[in-house]
Structure 1
Amino acid sequence: MTVPQKVESETATTDVATAQRHSPLEHRAAEFERRSASGARGVRLREEPFLTQLDLRTPPGGSSAASVAEALGLPLPAANRATGDEHDAVLWLGPDESLIVAPDGRAESLLRTVREAQRGGSGSVVDVSANRTTLRLSGPMAREVLEKLCSVDLHPRAFGPGDCVQTLLGRVVVVLWQLDREPGYRVMVRCSFAEYLADLLLDAMAEFLDG
């Protein structure tokens, strides 16, 4: 089959753009590895760059919300909850706002899916993938690290797998999402504040590296 020249050109442009991308913290990957610790008092930090992130606005409980949920194959979440898993999820951000999270490269297809589901109804969806990068903090002491920086009650009785919240870590607004019971967390932060947050987390991790 002959691929149209225009499609070939668009594909080549996309491939070049993807190859030229740089995440805010890619230059610190080796440092994150060096300053992470394993074992019973371990905690690990790494960047998960380029996740697809779509900001979804839709009135709760209406036909548009139901159509979007059906199209995504995931129910829209209750307050401070996430539905799905770490690969495909919808996170609650507010009464009429959610964040769709998926692997890199899914933005265009998901935008089409959601916009088609919203057709004739109300709501909007916007690609915000470039706004934030994601830090993954995991290990037995991950909760203790976050508790040094965050006023949210992260005790398992109050915050567990599938919970998410917009909060401050230090002086930075983040989306904090607990993935599992290890515990493992995703911390989603504006790219312009990524260096600051990485420094805060590494400082809070230091006692466990020394131990």
Structure 2
Amino acid sequence: MADLADLKTRSALAPLDIIHGGPADAGVVLTEIPFRSKLVLRGHLSEKAFVSAIKSVLGAVPPAEANTVAATKDVRILWTGPDEWMVYGDDTELAGKLATALDGQHAAVTEVTEHHTMIRLSGRHARDVMAKGCAIDLHPREFGAGRCTQSHIGRITVLFDQIDETPTYDILVRASFAEYLWTYLEDAGLEFGVRIENLG
């Protein structure tokens, strides 16, 4: 497993030499969130011990409904299959804590922090940018805050999570495709004005 402290010196988007800034009234805002802990969790919600262990660590129960999200202020749990979830948050010890809590159970925790990066797309035209390259119906009646899905943006597969109704999307992408996704989103947003922000 890669050391997270080392990972912080080599963002997946570092080769692009991204210049931060842009118009204050930009319709699209892009932010890289590269070092958030990410893990794949597998288990069965029918098992009380599994649910109890997860809730004790994450403070929430993984969602049972397809393409929904359970969240606290520190972590988000995205449904990716009937017995599988993507979990992300800022706690670098998250995977270890879950593995300890689930010890001896028929469950699995796989850290994927180093395999993925996250790009946040927000602003009043974020949905328009997403719609250019994604076949999912993103109309607020169909897809709103608290929803997630695996789909394509442009030519690559991503997992995205709608955070709020601004709208704001957190897009998880394999690190090897991060440069492609960033340049795609930047180009798709040009007609609306793009501002690039630092995290925080």
TM-score range, shorter chain: 0.7 to 0.9
Pairing 1:114-193 to 2, within 5 Å after superposition? 114-193=98-177
Q: Which has the higher contact order (CA 8 A, sep 6+)?
A: 2
How high is the TM-score relative to the length of structure 2?
0.86
- Cα 1:15–1:131 change in 2 (3 A) is closer
Q: Which has the larger radius of gyration?
A: 1
Q: 2:37, 2:94 within 8 Å by CA — same for their partners in 1? A: no
Unaligned residue ranges in structure 1 (runs of 5+): 1-13
- The answer for the alignment partner of 1:6 in structure 2 is none
Identity of aligned residues (%): 36
Unaligned residue ranges in structure 2 (runs of 5+): 195-200
- Secondary structure, aligned partner of 2:193: helix
CA separation in 2, counterparts of 1:24 and 1:117?
Answer: 31
Cα deviation for residue 111 of structure 1 reads: 2.5
Equivalent residue in structure 2 for 1:88, among 65, 70, 75: 75
- The answer for the alignment partner of 2:86 in structure 1 is 99
- The answer for the alignment partner of 1:5 in structure 2 is none
CA separation in 1, counterparts of 2:55 and 2:5?
Answer: 34
- Secondary structure, aligned partner of 1:55: strand
Q: Which has the higher helix share?
A: 1
Report how many aligned residue pairs link the two structures.
190
Equivalent residue in structure 2 for 1:59, among 34, 38, 44: 44
- The answer for the alignment partner of 1:46 in structure 2 is 31
CA separation in 2, counterparts of 1:138 and 1:82?
Answer: 18
Q: Which has the higher strand share?
A: 2
Cα deviation for residue 157 of structure 1 reads: 0.4
Asked if 1:17 corresponds to 2:1, the answer is no
